[in-house]
Amino acid sequence: MPELVPVLTEKEIQKTVESLSRKISNDYKGKSLVLIGVLKGVLFFLADLARKLSVPVEIDFVWASSYETGDTSCGDVSLSCDIKTDIRGKHVLLVEDILDTGKTITSILPAIEKLGPASIKVCAFIDKTERREHECPTDYIGHSIKSGFLVGFGLDYSGKYRNLPAIYELKF
Ligand code: IMP
Ligand code: MG
């Protein structure tokens, strides 16, 4: 059985979400925002963040999966960017659970750009920097870590541990 080493408590997570939401609300004051979440990992982060924003928001989702069964990205991202919201001329914030190689975000961005938004920024709860291969925007970051495989608060290992309210490093 892999060991779960605590990284962020529920309280620390909520403090970070609050600070991100304050920054974002301030930057988009007087505007409205379309949050586009990358499923499935983003589900709790997006739900918590959206409820703390003080600007009007619309919410939509794209699907992406790169870790089909384990803890190393196979490099091929399977994507579904079929969003239903009309984002033409609107400000978009792409919301991710964690940035790793950068492949997922850099694969999604062109598909969103094609839909003609007024602007696109990226918000990720965790920026995992060591394995970055594709330069990607990091406009709003909750926490930066160098390496390690994290689970909880939406992050999974083979579909498990997503529902843990805190974040842990999985030690194999
Ligand atoms: P990237 O495409 O390599 O940047 O990987 C990003 C995606 O891989 C994220 O959206 C996560 O779903 C997944 N991922 C990357 N690192 C972790 C991790 O430490 N735990 C769980 N999922 C991860
Ligand atoms: Mg993800």
Measured from CB, residues less than 6 Å from any atom of ligand 1 are: 38, 41, 66-67, 73, 77, 96-104, 128, 149-151, 155-156
CA of 29 to the centre of ligand 1 (A): 31
According to DSSP H, which parts of 59-164 are helical?
A: 103-113
User: Could you say which ligand is closest to the alpha carbon of residue 135?
Assistant: 1
* Residue ranges of domains in the chain: 10-146
The H or E element spanning position 120 is strand 119-128
Please, what CATH class does the domain formed by 10-146 belong to? alpha beta
The model carries a pTM of: 0.94
DSSP reduced 3-state for 57: strand
Local confidence pLDDT in tens for the 172 residues of the chain: 899 999 999 999 999 999 999 999 999 999 999 999 999 999 999 999 999 999 999 999 999 876 555 565 545 778 888 899 999 999 999 999 999 999 999 999 999 999 999 999 999 999 999 999 999 999 999 999 999 999 999 999 999 999 999 999 999 9
Q: Ligand 1 pocket: which of 4, 67, 108, 161 to mutate (most atoms <8 Å of CB)?
A: 67
